[in-house]
Amino acid sequence: MPLGARSPRQPGPSPQLRELKETVRRLLGLDEDTAVMVRQLACTEPGCPPVETVVAVLPMDGAARRWTLHVLADRITEADLRRVLLATDQDQQNH
């Protein structure tokens, strides 16, 4: 089930992006000083799906990291995040 899934009748803003941020923070073991941004954007590149979700991690010290998932934010699961974030971290450690 996607993170932050809720009943369509539930009032108020979706908790989706906040839950995605919290999950990114937990999966990567980030401290509270590291900014995590999640944005859903229109993709205008040829051959790109119309919407993508961008996850950015901005540490106080060190390089920023960014991942793009070509799926709506409300369809992203923890398994999706784990696959993308941790696979990329493993690739970076092996190079």
* 22-76 pLDDT per residue, tens: 999 999 999 999 999 999 899 888 888 889 999 999 999 989 999 999 889 989 9
Find all residues with CB under 8 Å of 64, minimum gap 6, and list them.
56, 57, 58
The whole-number pLDDT of residue 27 equals: 96
pLDDT at 5 over 70: no
The whole-number pLDDT of residue 7 equals: 53
- What is 33-90 written as a DSSP string? TSEEEEEEEE--STT--SEEEEEEEE-SSS--EEEEESS-GGG--HHHHHHHHHHHHH
* Spatial separation of the C-alpha atoms in residues 33 and 29, rounded to whole Å: 12
Q: Where are the domains of the chain?
A: 16-90
The whole-number pLDDT of residue 49 equals: 83
